[in-house]
Amino acid sequence: METKEQIITDIRKKVLLGLDKTYQKLLETKRKNNGVLVVYKDGRIMKIKPNKKEEHIP
């Protein structure tokens, strides 16, 4: 039987994996449609053209 902490860790890993997949799909869609990605970084709102293959914005 799993402990409560193990269950929470497993759920956290699954959520983070889902968020990463969603982000990758968003970048693919923006590249395909030549769209602009709007992000909040370092206290500023920035518009970025996601035209690089390996672009990753934390």
What pLDDT does residue 51 have? 75
Question: Is the pTM for the entire model greater than 0.75?
Answer: no
What pLDDT does residue 57 have? 55
Task: Report CA dihedral (27, 44, 12, 52) to the nearest 10 degrees.
Answer: 20
What pLDDT does residue 58 have? 53
Q: List, for residues 1-58, the tens digit of each pLDDT value.
A: 789 999 999 999 999 999 999 999 998 999 899 899 898 989 999 998 887 654 555 5
Q: In whole angstroms, what is the distance from residue 43 CA to residue 6 CA? A: 35
What pLDDT does residue 50 have? 80
Tokens coding 28: 């693919």
